[in-house]
Structure 1
Amino acid sequence: MRKLWPMALLLAACGTQDPTGAGSEPLRLTASSLPPAYLGEPYQAVFSAEGGLRPYAFSLEGKLPQGLTFQGGRLSGVPREKGSFSLVLTVEDAAKNSRAQKLTLTVSDPPPPRLTLVLPPAQVEGPFLLLARVEGREAVGFQLEVRLQDLSPDLYSLKVASPVHLLDYDPQSRLLRLDMAFPKPLKDQEVFRLLLTPEKPLTPRLSPQVVLYDKEGKPSGQAPSRGRPLADLLGLAQNWGREGKELKGDLDGDGKVGEADLRLLAQGYFPKVQAPPPGEGSGKGGAP
């Protein structure tokens, strides 16, 4: 009988394993809240559970916004109505144990895109790059105005994400104006970089005025004063490089949209710069 002990011990050890998962941690849902949803934008939330006995079955009770569906533990779709929706998520395991969780889904208008300017965080004494990125939401264009106190721009160094742009700089007021339209919506992407040279050691700080245009062409605020609306620049971007009859943006009527039309649009586009407030535009007052 002693010769059988190792085999008996081996069988006993194998018997301690539970391939069904019974006796594991108590069943629980891992979701305690839902990410926000935005009107007209794709949405997805995938639910999961832990413990209990697999497999799990999920169910969702409550009114869903139009455009969203729930199937197999996944809530997805494109919401077509705004509001706050009260839901109850339930999970049931193979042993018929269940757990429920109250959730609230909020659907609102999407926030506007934003233009982020990237500057050196510390004091600089030599030339540096000003970088700008469109972030958060898709945008089709922007309008920027910023005064460059104690900073000299190298306008020839400008690198842009779109050929459809207009640039203006007034040395007396130090006001830089840049309007740009994209051939297709951009998001989370660098849109321009410009070399700036400080006139004295300083920590760069800028207070830009920016209006961004979302993928529908809606501005994020009051548009700055221009000789023509940005919609004209957007029309150029939409058909840039195309040829055909009656194209939007074909300002010279030659049957194609390109540099010649942009030059026509530039005429009188930026109005004369108003005199800066006292203490500005003299090269003084920059951040030390």
Structure 2
Amino acid sequence: MSKRKNQADHEDSDSDSENTPTFIDVDFDFFGLNSTNDYHAIKRLLDQLFGVDAEGLSTHALADLVLSQPDIGTTIKTDGEESSPYAFLSVLNIGVHNDNVSIKSLVEYILAKSKGDDAFHGSLSTILRDPQCQVGLVLCERLINMPVPVIPPMYRMLVDELKDAVEENEPFNFTHLVFISRVYKLTPEEEEAMAVAQQPGKASKRQKSQNSNGETNDRSPDGVYPFHPEDEEIRKLASHHLIFPYSNAQPRNAESFGLDTAGRLMLMPAAQLPELARILGDVFQPPGKV
């Protein structure tokens, strides 16, 4: 698999081919979760996933919980199993772990944030109380420059892992899946400045901006962009979807540094997971694959 590098790393800025992407070969290896080696990296990725609200969500306990089920979920590494993961995907049974401090905190957090949408809040409250419903919390995060084509194999493996676990009578026969993710927001002025920086003199014609993975997207009508491009495919299969403000977000003004970020919450019927894995494989194929 290839990973895009910033061309400035290899050529002078005034080179005639400075806009031509350069590729280097990087081997991404997929491993199961390893409680001996992965804790600190998983904890950091969870902190990144929950942004400025992470401190109140007991991510240390959540990392332990993720690592307590090594047969469900995947990490991506580049330097062997004992190296730190650059990405991970896992799912937790909210009902089974409802006494865990991290799950308690997250359920309260999710319910509070879903109040921004009455229908979403009602559905979420109902399924979390219904003993016939098994709700899985999907956790997926990666380093900012990881290419999105690494994600579909993780979901395909998760589908197989859940199927095997259900056959072994383990508590992974989910009826619903909750996804938590992140977005960032750009004002029209920020979008224009980003376009100008990337294509001087052509911004108004191209009307494009880059997402956090360095990929070029059509501009969003509301200025909201996903950190994870695959979220747009999840949203299409979701029964409910909500962008919510972080509780600990600081007020922003023209002098504020960094991106204006927010959280994203999605609820999807678990039966859609195999279809999601298939769609992601079709949409986010590695470069050069037909």
TM range (shorter): under 0.3
Q: TM-score, normalized by length of structure 2?
A: 0.22
Instruction: Please report the TM-score for the alignment, with normalisation by the length of structure 1.
Output: 0.22
The structure that is helix-richer by fraction is 2
- Relative CO higher for 1 or 2, CA cutoff 8 Å, sep ≥ 6? 2
> Considering only CA atoms, is the larger Rg found in Structure 1 or Structure 2?
1
| Larger strand percent | 1
